[in-house]
A and B are shown apart, each in its own frame.
Chain A
Amino acid sequence: MSERIIELRDIKKSYGQVYALGGVDLSVDRGEVVGLIGDNGAGKSTLIKILSGVVKPTSGDILVRGKPVSGWSAARSRDAGIETVFQDRALAVQQTIVRNIFMGRELTSFMGWLKVNKEIEEASRLMREIGFTSKVFTPHSIVGQLSGGERQGVAIARAIYKQAELIILDEPTTALSLTETAKVFHFVRQVRASGRSILFIGHNIHHVFDIADRFVVLDRGKVALTAGRTEIKSAEDLINFMEDVAHPGGLPGLHEDAEQGAQ
């Protein structure tokens, strides 16, 4: 039995009278790729914000490696080894690549003075790993000068710097070209091979089906389905299920909590 990296228990989040999440259970194990799918307004973004500590849940428990956490925040989430690549990439576009990679996690010596050389060194290494082979961009390049795919690369470089245990990828393939999408997939497989976990959020069901070991379908703030590879044989199964959820009338018997897919 692999270790449970994070577990959400009965998470509820309301904005005033409106419930964005109405009691969600979600867990990610070590070395697992979980695909999170759901229509617009299903609560995906809220769930990600809760995981990354940006938003606090109205009620419910968060367990990191089996232990309940208190005072959950973005800083706590990152300290717990959870890194998020947000859909908007969360970059400061007027700053250099170095400053973005080390945003909120500056390498400092005594009294908070920056280890400038060390940061540049580490940033160049990460840029090579991510695939910035072009000499045009140095760690000093301004992020605003980069293309969408390259910005995604900077956001991913920031996420992998600290050897995070769980990387949350929020719609990582949106607005990327085929080559760039292939690169993201390659990255996901590398992360899984190194024994770390990914929570992959996607609009494109085919993308999610290709990459994930386990699927979680969110619908109107509730988990409508948790299923492994054994239950879901094809992307069409998922699409059919999504359609059934959107237009109720004859749900397939997939509501039971599924075991993790064989691999």
Chain B
Amino acid sequence: MSKAMEPDLQTPLGRASGQVAKKPAKEWSHPSNHWLRGFVIDNRAALGTLAVFIVMMAVFIIANPTVFTTWYLYSSVLTTLPVALFVVVPLVFVVTCGEIDLSFPATMGFASWVFALVVQAGYDPFLGIAAALVTGTLLGFLVGSLVVYGGLSSLIATLGMNFLLRGLIQIINEGKSTALTGVADSSAYKIFSSQVWGIPVQIFWAIAFVVFSALLYNRHRFGAQVKVVGDNPDSARQMGIDVKWVRVKVFVFVGIGAAIAGTFSVMINFTWWPTAGDGYLLPVLASVFVGGTPTWGGIGTVVGGAIGAVTVSFIQTGVVAAGLSGFYVQFFNGLIIILSLLGHKWNQARYR
């Protein structure tokens, strides 16, 4: 096709830059051709989040160098952090798709309740995990269908579903918890919740989940379509993408993540509470946005979200370890969120 080009039309489409185009390619190289620069530009949101984390930790360590050398501090973070990661990462997909899901705490509670019921009935915990995953998938599908096919605002509809599902759990259980003492002896516990060289094994599963999801986000049709739908749903529709189904799928993904998270949290505590998952709502949301995924959809970062989760889970531990009283925790939470948002705003241009 280019052979047939007329001589006077050799300039690039829409760009009056005859001189630039005529120069030999060797003389002229754009700075972004350098791999490091390209890497920084492609991952600037995640790197920005990492910078926030490093600065925060530096402040804590300067305040109290001795505490941060004790292993116990990291061990406690590594026990609870994985639970958050399993929901933070799918939420990055949801936010990229231009939606929000506030129903994941109830899904965590519901799916882990099913897990607890199966285990309490004497079945193998593996079967309980499978049942929890099915529950999470179905609840995600239910929430997603309600939002997408019902044409409801995801903010309000998922908030409603969160109350509804949690209410259902409370009505049936009347506030009673379920103890799962038998779990500790099971092989499922050894695989998913024990310690390897003193490190809680959940963190490895969580890292694997983050890596898989990052690939899904950047190297899979699902991630590509999620981004396009969040960016410009009309264009996506015009190009033949089933926009509604893509949207439902991100909610299903959150359901699955929440089921895994809920099951892990029950296995850590050997107990299921009717409130399981409730405490994760705000920290998880904060992690997504601290992580550098903007609110407007179309772009986001899975790795950034994971670093955001690490940052948020270190705030509480760090504040106390640095010698401040627990009353400072909320203040620091807010400070980190605001500073991160300001940083990301400066870091990311929004194209329209």
Contacts and interface: CB of A to CB of B under 8 A. Distances in A.
B235 A153 contact: no
B220 A114 contact: yes
Interface stretch (A9-17, A29-37, A101-109, A200-208): A101-109
Nearest to A132: B12
Contacts of A150: 12-15
Given A106-B224, A186-B5, A190-B4, A94 B231 contact: yes
A54 B9 contact: no
Which range contains the number of A residues in contact with the other chain?
Answer: 35 or more
B20 A136 contact: yes
Interface string B315-352: 00000000000000000000000000000000001111
A193 B4 CA distance: 11
Contact of B13 (A78, A103, A132, A158): A132
A142 B13 contact: no
Among A79, A135, A151, the most chain B Cβ lie within 10 Å of the Cβ of A135
B348 to A, nearest CB: 10
B234 interface: yes
Interface string A119-146: 0000000001111111110101011111
Contacts of A86: 235, 238
Interface in B235-284: 235-242
A54 B219 contact: no
A90 B235 contact: yes
Contacts of A251: none
Interface in A71-99: 73-79, 84, 86, 90-95, 99
Nearest to A98: B224
Contacts of A186: 5-6, 9
Contacts of A106: 221, 224-225
Among B25, B42, B225, the most chain A Cβ lie within 10 Å of the Cβ of B225
B166 interface: no
Nearest to A144: B351
A133 B29 contact: no
Nearest to A150: B14
A246 interface: no
Contact of A112 (B11, B42, B221, B299): B221
Which range contains the number of B residues in contact with the other chain?
Answer: 35 or more
Contacts of A94: 227, 231, 298-299, 350-351
A113 B219 contact: yes
Interface string B1-25: 1101110011111111100110001
A160 B224 CA distance: 21
B12 to A, nearest CB: 5
A183 B234 contact: no
Contacts of B163: none
Nearest to B240: A75
A152 interface: yes
B204 interface: no
Contacts of B225: 104, 106
B239 A105 contact: yes
Given A131-B13, A133-B12, A136-B20, A99 B228 contact: yes
B75 interface: no
A152 B14 contact: yes
Contact of B240 (A78, A132, A135, A147): A78
Contacts of A177: 14
A95 B28 contact: no
A148 interface: yes
A159 to B, nearest CB: 10
Given A73-B240, A190-B1, A92 B9 contact: no
A183 B13 contact: yes
B1 A129 contact: yes
A84 B234 CA distance: 14
B220 A131 contact: no
Given A84-B238, A94-B298, A180 B1 contact: no
A180 B13 contact: yes
Interface string A179-190: 110110010001
Nearest to A156: B13
Contacts of B14: 146-153, 176-177, 180
B351 A142 contact: yes
17 contacts: A54-B237, A54-B238, A74-B237, A75-B242, A93-B351, A103-B228, A116-B219, A131-B2, A131-B5, A133-B21, A136-B30, A144-B352, A145-B351, A146-B14, A147-B14, A149-B15, A186-B5
Given A104-B239, A130-B13, 13 more contacts: A78-B240, A86-B235, A90-B238, A90-B239, A92-B232, A92-B235, A93-B351, A105-B239, A112-B220, A135-B20, A144-B351, A145-B351, A179-B16
Interface of A: 52-54, 73-79, 84, 86, 90-95, 99, 102-106, 108, 112-114, 116, 128-136, 138, 140, 142-153, 158, 176-177, 179-180, 182-183, 186, 190, 193
* 3 A-B pairs with the lowest CB-CB distances in the bound complex, closest first: A149-B14, A144-B351, A75-B240
